[in-house]
Amino acid sequence: MGHHAVAVRRIDLGYFIRPAVETGGPEPRVEAVLAYLVRHPDGLLLFDTGIGAADPETEAHYRPRRRPLPEALAAAGVTPADIDLVVNCHLHFDHCGGNPLFPGTPIVAQTAELAAARGGGHTFEELIDFPGVRYEEVSGEAELWPGIRVVPTPGHTDGHQSLVVRRDDGTALVLAGQAHDTAAEYGYALLARRAAGEGVEPPLPAYRPWLDRLAAFDPRRVLFAHDASVWEPTGPAAG
């Protein structure tokens, strides 16, 4: 496929401590912050950019440990200047922290997400509107490059989006961002969808309606922003 096969590489950008009040359990949880570098014949795409600078209250709340994005990209053999397109699953500070390193580079965000980010109380303004920023707003699903598609997956935020990558062998890989916090949660939601589709009597857990759209791509792998585990199907896709 062109001069480069489509390939996806995970980029480790540090971690933060989610306090017990947010985990639903008795203990805090240490969560990874992961970005993804997509090599494509049309260029290099970076999905999420890591943990940005925050105010003292947020720093104390989450206690983040950052791996500088240029250092992380260097390990993959690229620099920020090599990136042709940035896509953020959403614009919280732990997903768009490196955006100011990309003046002039198109940044793809859902219109609803950008509006929320500019509305206050959502993120940190200096990560959103910085000198040279160039947004490509999309409203809904859109193909960015051949075989590269953003799909709205609202829930964590109203403007959350995931990225579907069609690989050279025709199979799909989904970069789900924080559509679900973990691979296990995604798997539970898929099973809830399957049970509902097979007519299991209520009560059943609810699942997001966009799961139907992601399942239609029949992904062979689904990767996440805060979980290094990877979801893979156990057998032929259902539905």
At 45-73, the pLDDT tens digits run: 999 999 999 999 999 999 999 999 999 99
Confidence of residue 95 (pLDDT cuts 50, 70, 90): very high
Per-residue CA distances from 28 to 51, 154, 225 (Å) = 19, 25, 18
Q: DSSP state, 231?
A: B
What value does the mean pLDDT take over residues 37-48?
A: 98
Q: What percent of the chain has pLDDT over 90?
A: 95
- Residue 2 pLDDT: 40
- Residue 159 pLDDT: 98
Q: Is the pLDDT of residue 155 over 60?
A: yes
- Residue 239 pLDDT: 44
- Please answer whether residues 67 and 142 qualify as being in contact, where contact means their C-beta atoms are separated by less than 8 angstroms: no
What value does the mean pLDDT take over residues 86-109?
A: 98
Measured on CA atoms in the order 222, 225, 230, 233, is the torsion positive or negative? negative
Q: Is the pLDDT of residue 105 over 60?
A: yes
- Residue 181 pLDDT: 96
What value does the mean pLDDT take over residues 73-100?
A: 98
Q: How far apart are CA 11 and CA 18, in angstroms?
A: 20
- Residue 160 pLDDT: 98
pTM of the model: 0.96
- Residue 236 pLDDT: 58
Q: Which helix (H) or strand (E) holds 11?
A: strand 7-18
